[in-house]
Amino acid sequence: MNDQTLLALASKMSALVEKFERQCEQSGTELRRLSQQVPAVVRQAADDQWRGVPEAVLADVRRGIEGPLADHERRLREAGEQVHQASVALSAQLRRAEALHRHLVWKVAGITLGSLVLMLGGGSWLSRHYYDEIRKNQVSATLLKAYNEADVTLCDGRLCVKTDKSAKPHGDYLPVKPR
């Protein structure tokens, strides 16, 4: 997934949470308002009818109240089920987002570690390469310094040296006389 998809998912999740909170607030407000009104209305109606109404009228009132209350209870159960389903869906979506985040963290850590290993390996190889080059140049520099101190010249296109006859020979070689 790319950043835009993650941002879109986060935006959708935020909108869903806001909608859920609004619905919960509206349902809670509606329930509080209704629960405060129902006892007072029922009490008032019962008091008015109780004062001289025969038993039959009292039974009719009870039947009249039971229908709306049952309907109200049914609607409350349905609203509760909808809230529960929405919370389960949101919980599942949050778990998926957490898993995605965890995978993303591991990928970033792996890439970072791989890059670090690559940089250390490259640095080690370059250090070894340039160390060898410096050693070669040191040998060449030592040799050039010895050539510079020797009395060497060209004789008909060949190298000629003035030897130090007082020095002790080194195998087939004789030391060169310094300038």
* pLDDT by 10s per residue, the chain, length 179: 578 888 888 888 888 888 888 888 888 888 888 778 777 777 887 777 666 656 766 677 678 888 888 888 899 899 889 989 989 998 999 999 999 999 999 999 999 999 999 999 999 999 999 999 888 877 777 777 877 777 777 777 777 777 777 777 766 565 665 66
Domain locations along the chain: 3-132
pLDDT tens profile 33-48: 877 877 777 788 777 7
**How much is the pTM?**
0.36
C-beta of residue 150 within 8 angstroms of C-beta of residue 179: yes
Task: Give the total residue count for the chain.
Answer: 179
HSE-CB for 152 with a 13 A CA cutoff: 12
Intra-chain end-to-end CA distance of the chain, in Å = 77
Residue that the structure tokens 């850590």 belong to: 109
Are 49 and 57 spatial neighbours (Cβ–Cβ below 8 Å)?
A: yes
Q: Residues 6-15, buried b or exposed e (16+ Cβ, 10 A)?
A: eeeeeeeeee
Tokens of 173: 């070689």
Could you tell me if 61 and 46 are in contact, meaning their C-beta atoms sit under 8 angstroms apart?
A: yes
Rg over CA atoms, the chain: 49
